[in-house]
Amino acid sequence: MLTSPSQPHTPSSERVTVKRLAARGVYDPEEIHGILDAGFICHVAFAVEGQPRVLPTAYVRVGDEVYLHGSPSNQMLRSLVASPEACVCVTHVDGLVLARSAFHHSINYRSVVLFGPAREVDDTERKLAALHALTNRIIPGRWNEVRTPNEAELKGTLVIAIRIAEASAKVRNAPPKDDEEDYALPVWAGVVPLSVVAAQPVRDPRLPPDIPQPAHVTAYLKNHEP
């Protein structure tokens, strides 16, 4: 559970409590899910023979679980399944915060850190459902347009589910915060917003010219215009 029913917006334990700039901590499950659902690349922490690793990978959230996939020999996925718990982080950079002093420059961001046990998804229907969700998380509507995985491809894909046992978010969305005496300085200050945008698609050179751009790609472009 992300939170206690009696305290819906408080951290569930000490390890997910935001301590540095605690006012930026977010513990509302809906807000945490919203930050997770806004992306599809996470960073995963794991250890191999006592040596720490952090790797980026694609993910999708479905309910109270986050799904990852890769080769059956993937060292990261195998390590997560063999470990008692996994740790995953997702971050969105929303703007550059330019203050009047170098010290107070910052970044507007949304981030989530989650903990939970990982398990292998070995049921064929559930594995397909996870891959379906992941494909459509990257570009909604894509799954219905493409050939779905065959039996050999499914056997060659390891899917794991990480249950979101605990999570917290940290968010900054504000103008610069300067020392009071610095507001009189003749220095420009403000926020440079940043966002993910989509450029014009590049057709595969081997794509027949009579195959038009699908509606889901056009919709994605429209939703991610500069």
Which among 141, 27, 117 has a CA at the least distance from the CA of 66? 117
> What's residue 5's pLDDT?
37
> What's residue 12's pLDDT?
85
Burial level of 23, CB count in 10 A (0-12/13-18/19+)? exposed
* pLDDT tens digits for range 143-174: 999 999 999 999 999 999 999 999 999 999 99
Helix (H, G, I), strand (E, B) or coil at 34: helix
* pLDDT greater than 90 at residue 8: no
* pLDDT greater than 90 at residue 10: no
- Global confidence as pTM: 0.91
Question: What would the mean pLDDT of 212-226 be, rounded to a whole number?
Answer: 94
* pLDDT tens digits for range 16-28: 999 999 999 999 9
Domains of the chain: 14-180+188-194 (2.30.110.10)
